[in-house]
């Protein structure tokens, strides 16, 4: 989904609001979004009572989040479902207003929705469709040209470049409903980039795509961003997307910032174990549990997950007790570390829900 189009080309010359720090493409300070949600109780009497006395819960979608993105940077914005990623992108795109905090994108306050700002960014959401379902994608592209006032020559040049990069030239004349999910996502990207935005927000752009389509989108984004210097904020649950495209990641959990730094530091910071890979001269010993958690053992090779602090002792003991032809120590895959980190979030939520239920039962 691309954000609503501008009404007129007025006020393009300069931002209508003062940037927090002009050198940053995107900057957020203390960004907070809280929703007041009606709490409906079960039962007829409770439902009738709710007509006269309503109870509300506060849902903290985003809580005091601060970060900055430099011009031309591609940032991974990670978190479990419900962590506040999409809400943050909607705030930065100006679709919703914050409860507190401030933000600047390209020098504009997003929720003021200045026409000039809306011409300089795009938001693509993997689960939303901006193209006309029963018409060929080409018709939607022409509509975007009119909405964004793109000169005909520039439009033709950009469209040719984008359809070639995404390999969809033969498909732009087909009705969108006849396209596969991967083909539709490529068309969505074309529509979002026809007006050459300086900032691109991507919310799960490869969700539900097959491996080939994922790789096509990854390759395109990497090539396009490198050539154009577009500032990109990417949310994705596919760590292959993140590792292929981003060097820096912000992790948000339960609406709060958990990490902001190089992608390589995530494993170092959040993983307490490493993987030892061994190649034995003979049979694989049957007592690998004494060293850690055996992951795979097919003679003559074995893999063991070992606590970081135990690595020196375990290696010394293994080399002393067994004939080993080859050994290596590796970090756990980023995907596993992120899954464990998000799993902690789910476990904490379940524990909190159980504690709340126990309190309500005892009351």
Give the model confidence (pLDDT) of 68-94 as tens digits. 999 999 999 998 888 889 999 999 999
The pLDDT, as a whole number, for residue 9 is 44
Q: Is it true that the peptide bond before 300 is cis, omega within 30 degrees of 0?
A: yes
The pLDDT, as a whole number, for residue 52 is 66
The pLDDT, as a whole number, for residue 97 is 94
Cα-Cα-Cα-Cα dihedral sign, residues 338, 339, 340, 345? positive
The pLDDT, as a whole number, for residue 70 is 95
The pLDDT, as a whole number, for residue 358 is 39
Q: Which secondary-structure segment (H or E) carries 65?
A: strand 56-69
Strands 256-262 and 248-253: antiparallel
C-alpha 5/C-alpha 2 separation (Å) is: 8
Q: Name the E strands within 226-359.
A: 231-235, 248-253, 256-262, 273-280, 293-298, 301-307, 324-331
The pLDDT, as a whole number, for residue 344 is 58
The pLDDT, as a whole number, for residue 8 is 43
Q: What percent of the chain has pLDDT over 90?
A: 57
Q: Max alpha carbon distance in the chain (Å)?
A: 78
The neighbouring-strand residues paired with 29 are: 102
The pLDDT, as a whole number, for residue 47 is 62
- What pLDDT tens digit does each residue of the chain (363 aa) get? 544 445 444 444 444 444 444 589 999 999 999 988 766 667 676 666 666 677 767 888 899 999 999 999 999 999 888 888 999 999 999 999 999 999 999 999 999 999 999 999 999 987 778 889 899 999 999 999 999 999 999 999 999 999 999 999 999 999 999 999 999 999 999 999 999 999 999 999 988 888 888 999 999 999 999 999 999 999 988 888 899 999 999 999 888 898 999 988 888 888 889 999 999 998 888 889 999 999 988 889 999 999 999 999 999 999 998 999 999 999 888 888 888 888 755 444 444 333 333 333 344
The pLDDT, as a whole number, for residue 361 is 34
Measured between alpha carbons, how far is residue 143 from residues 91, 136, 173, 335, 361 in Å?
Answer: 26, 12, 14, 40, 58
């Amino acid at each position: 989904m691309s954000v609503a189009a501008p009404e007129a080309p007025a006020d393009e010359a300069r931002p209508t609001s003062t940037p927090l720090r002009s050198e940053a493409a995107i900057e957020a300070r203390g960004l907070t979004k809280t929703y007041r949600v009606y709490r409906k109780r079960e039962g007829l009497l409770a439902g009738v009572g709710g007509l006269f006395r309503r109870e509300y819960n506060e849902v903290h979608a985003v809580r005091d989040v601060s970060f900055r993105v430099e011009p031309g940077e591609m940032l991974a914005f990670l978190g479990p479902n419900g962590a506040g990623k999409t809400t943050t992108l909607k705030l930065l795109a100006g679709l919703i207003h914050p409860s507190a905090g401030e933000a600047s994108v390209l020098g504009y306050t997003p929720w003021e929705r200045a026409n000039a700002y809306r011409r300089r960014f795009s938001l693509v959401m993997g689960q939303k469709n901006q193209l006309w379902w029963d018409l060929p994608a080409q018709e939607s592209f022409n509509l975007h040209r009119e909405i964004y006032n793109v000169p005909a020559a520039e439009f033709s040049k950009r469209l040719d470049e984008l359809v070639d990069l995404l390999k969809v030239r033969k498909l732009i004349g087909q009705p969108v409903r006849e396209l596969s999910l991967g083909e539709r996502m490529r068309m969505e990207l074309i529509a979002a980039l026809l007006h050459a935005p300086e900032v691109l927000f991507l919310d799960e752009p490869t969700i539900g795509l097959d491996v080939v389509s994922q790789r096509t989108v990854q390759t395109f984004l990497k090539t396009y961003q490198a050539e154009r210097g577009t500032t990109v904020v990417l949310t994705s649950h596919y760590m292959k997307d993140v590792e292929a495209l981003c060097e820096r990641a912000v992790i948000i959990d339960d609406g709060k910032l958990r990490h902001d730094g190089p992608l390589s530091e995530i494993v170092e910071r959040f993983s307490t174990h490493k993987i030892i890979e061994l190649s034995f001269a003979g049979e694989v010993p049957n007592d690998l549990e004494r060293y850690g958690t055996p992951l795979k053992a097919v003679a003559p090779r074995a893999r063991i997950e070992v606590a970081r602090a135990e690595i020196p002792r375990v290696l010394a003991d293994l080399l002393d007790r067994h004939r080993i032809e080859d050994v290596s120590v590796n970090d756990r895959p980023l995907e596993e570390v992120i899954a464990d980190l998000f799993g902690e979030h789910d476990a904490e939520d379940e524990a909190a829900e159980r504690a709340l239920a126990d309190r309500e039962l005892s009351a």
